[in-house]
Amino acid sequence: MNHIDSLAVVLLVSACVASGCGSQESEVHVYEVVNEYRGTFVIVEDKVNGLDVVPVAGELTYAIPETGILRVKDMHYIHYWHSAVARYANGLSIPDGNMSSPDTVSFHSISYVDGKYHWFAIGTQADVDESLGSERITKMLEAK
């Protein structure tokens, strides 16, 4: 390995450490919805009225209420490397939309705006496509 290669490795490792790569602060984000939930939901940063969500045993669980709107005090955990999974309140896993056929009811990340909100959907790809033009999402986007 020559000097330039060594320098590149040092810079890469330094960037990884500085960005939280390998951070164990929150490895898995769990989005838990009510049983048989289908539709969009949003996590909104609300420093005054939001809930404190903290990692427990490597999991950060967001319990999404029936309204589909969860307000949290701080969304900084989203900046850390993490994997995301969804499940119903009864523990049944919801497939990842990136790994499912378009006709499978699955979990989809729709939109994220730093420090404001993160939209998700549980449904088929057609449901997600339809929800992107929904009045509910449009109003929320305009309000932020």
pLDDT, residue 113, reads 76
- The whole-model pTM stands at 0.73
**Closest-CA residue to 94 (of 141, 41, 135, 52):** 41
* The predicted structure's pLDDT at residue 136: 61
**Residue 125 clears pLDDT 70, i.e. is over it:** yes
Query: For position 118, what pLDDT does the model report?
Result: 87
d(CA 116, CA 121): 17
Distance CA 111, CA 66 (A): 20
The contacts of residue 32 (CB under 8 Å, 6+ apart) are 61, 62, 63, 64, 86, 87, 88, 89
| 65-108 tens-digit pLDDT | 999 999 999 887 776 777 899 999 999 999 998 888 889 999 99
**Secondary structure of 69-93 as H, E, C letters:** EEEECCCHHHHCCCEEEEEECCCCE
- The stretch 102-123 carries a mean pLDDT of 87
Q: What is the pLDDT of residue 75?
A: 83
